[in-house]
A = this chain, B = another copy of it.
Amino acid sequence: MAAKQEEWKDEYQKICELLRHHSYKLTPQRQTILKAFLENEDQHLSAEDTFMMVKHNYPDIGLATVYRTLDLLAELGILQKNDFGDGRSRYEFNRKDEHHHHHLICIKCGNVSEFDGDLLESLEAEIEKRNGYQVVDHDLKFYGYCNKCKSTLD
């Protein structure tokens, strides 16, 4: 617990500095939201999820503030905005070091796992040649049944 907190304290300081550098104010709302993501690095939280989570530490926070903050943090590259097709955006902490990871989405229970490895760089080069696109990003999702749901099929 203490060790885990140690883990992200550095990260937290760096991000605060980044905000200051962009002349964004360090409000307690922003700090609380940021901490929620640092404490849940492996989760994919929707705005509503985040709101519920943060409300415990900061009961007066408004949902609109959560939306605005998520937007801001994604704009700065601190969070990554994802769309898993369930009608709401989901955010996760953007670890710069593992540049690209892809998502496995269970079409039964909605659980989202991650899959590392890129392998798509060579494909991007081919696309630039063939289609004239200058590719800057890609998004790869796999849909299927997770380990748990697999066994309950039919």
Contacts and interface: CB of A to CB of B under 8 A. Distances in A.
A144 B136 contact: yes
Main SS class of interface, A: strand
B147 A136 contact: no
Given A83-B83, A115-B127, A134 B145 contact: yes
**In the assembly, how many copies of this chain are there?**
2
Interface string A107-143: 1000001010001100110010011111111111111
A138 B143 contact: yes
B140 A144 contact: no
Nearest to A85: B83
A106 interface: yes
Contacts of A144: 133-137
A104 to B, nearest CB: 5
A146 interface: yes
A132 B107 contact: no
Nearest to A128: B144
A20 interface: no
A150 interface: yes
A132 B115 contact: no
Contacts of A134: 144-145, 150
Given A127-B142, A139-B140, 15 more contacts: A83-B85, A106-B133, A113-B131, A115-B127, A115-B131, A120-B140, A134-B144, A134-B150, A135-B144, A136-B145, A137-B142, A137-B143, A138-B141, A139-B141, A139-B142
